[in-house]
Amino acid sequence: MSSSLPGLPTLDRCAVMGVVNVTPDSFSDGGMWLDPAKAVAHGLDLTARGADLVDVGGESTRPGAQRVTEEEELRRVIPVVRELAAAGVTVSVDTMRAAVAEQAVAAGARLVNDVSGGLADPAMAEVVAATGAPFVVMHWRGQSADMDSLAVYGDVVADVVAELTDRMTALLAAGVKEEQLILDPGLGFAKTSEHNWALLGRLDALTALGRPVLVAASRKRFLGTLLANPETGELRPARQRDDATAAVSVLSARAGAWAVRVHDVAGTADAVRVVAAWQRAAQRG
């Protein structure tokens, strides 16, 4: 879906958001890009491979993860954001902290990606309203240390839609403009594999809320479970989930997602172009 978001280029296809985790402990690439020079080089490499945006984060949100201090998060993220933005990359900052969002936007970030949708830091809404930057509102129920116990739903699709709708209402009341909002089902955050599949299968329930939708399935555990070794039951390792991730990208693009967030950009960059060409041909009839 092509959508107009303030300060971001408009594309005629699903956008590709590449991931740079400046962390020692993210589940699939922890420690690889902790050094700022390596993180910047990786962001440039993702752009060369076809990323339309690069998402820079300094705090792992994998299940069970402990929080880093604000000071440490700023130290990890801001120099990388500044350098990538200066090189002309469209940078997104992945943070739950208002101070990090504010300083990242001042350093050149053009989108704020908050996995808590503004719930973790009460100051986030005000900062986002003041910057006017697009804001990813992810469905979230609690910090990583205890999110597994929160994966309880009546009807996961209806519950996620209702909770995201509440978030949108609260953010608008706090001064954020509707045109800034991007929605995300929050795959793997207080969700089992079955919950993730249910949400992907009903992505239309999210797009029906009228805002661009971001899907971030890349290398997540539910793909490892789907592709587990049939003999041993061993999960497919995270770094061997990229083909499955590209398949999710195809289906998300086809279902109208605005963007997909991925670690391995090349496969998904090709995939979203195939979907766009297919859909253009289908429209011509």
Q: How many CB atoms lie within 10 A of CB 165?
A: 12
The amino acid occupying position 207 is T
Q: What Å distances lie between residue 253 and 66, 206, 256, CA to CA?
A: 33, 13, 5
Closer residue to ligand PMM in complex, CB, 112/269: 112
Q: Is 141 a catalytic residue?
A: no
Q: Which residue is nearest to ligand PMM (CB)?
A: 216
Closer residue to ligand PMM in complex, CB, 266/277: 266
Contact 140, 115 (CB under 8 A): yes
User: DSSP readout, 49-103?
Assistant: TT-SEEEEESS--STTPPPPPHHHHHHHHHHHHHHHHHTT--EEEE-S-HHHHHH
Q: Residue 108 Cβ, how far from ligand PMM at the closest point, in Å?
A: 19
Closer residue to ligand PMM in complex, CB, 166/232: 166
Residue 192 CA, distance from chain mean position: 18
- Residues at the interface with ligand PMM (CB under 6 A): 19, 21, 26-28, 60-62, 94, 113, 115, 136, 138, 184, 186-187, 214, 216, 261
Please state, in angstroms and rounded to a whole number, the distance separating the CA atoms of residues 31 and 29: 6
Closer residue to ligand PMM in complex, CB, 44/215: 215
Q: Determine the 3-state secondary structure of 138 from DSSP.
A: strand
Closer residue to ligand PMM in complex, CB, 64/277: 64
Q: Residue 179 Cβ, how far from ligand PMM at the closest point, in Å?
A: 18
Q: Residue 43 Cβ, how far from ligand PMM at the closest point, in Å?
A: 14
Q: Is 284 a catalytic residue?
A: no
Q: Residue 138 Cβ, how far from ligand PMM at the closest point, in Å?
A: 5
Q: Which of 141, 220, 221, 241 is catalytic?
A: 220
Q: Residue 230 Cβ, how far from ligand PMM at the closest point, in Å?
A: 26
* Cβ contacts of 68-72, under 8 Å, gap ≥ 24: 68/23, 70/97, 70/99, 70/100
For residue 154, what are the contacts with CB-CB under 8 A and spacing of at least 6?
none
Looking only at the bridges linking them, the beta strands covering 111-114 and 15-21 are: unpaired
Question: Catalytic positions, please?
Answer: 220, 261
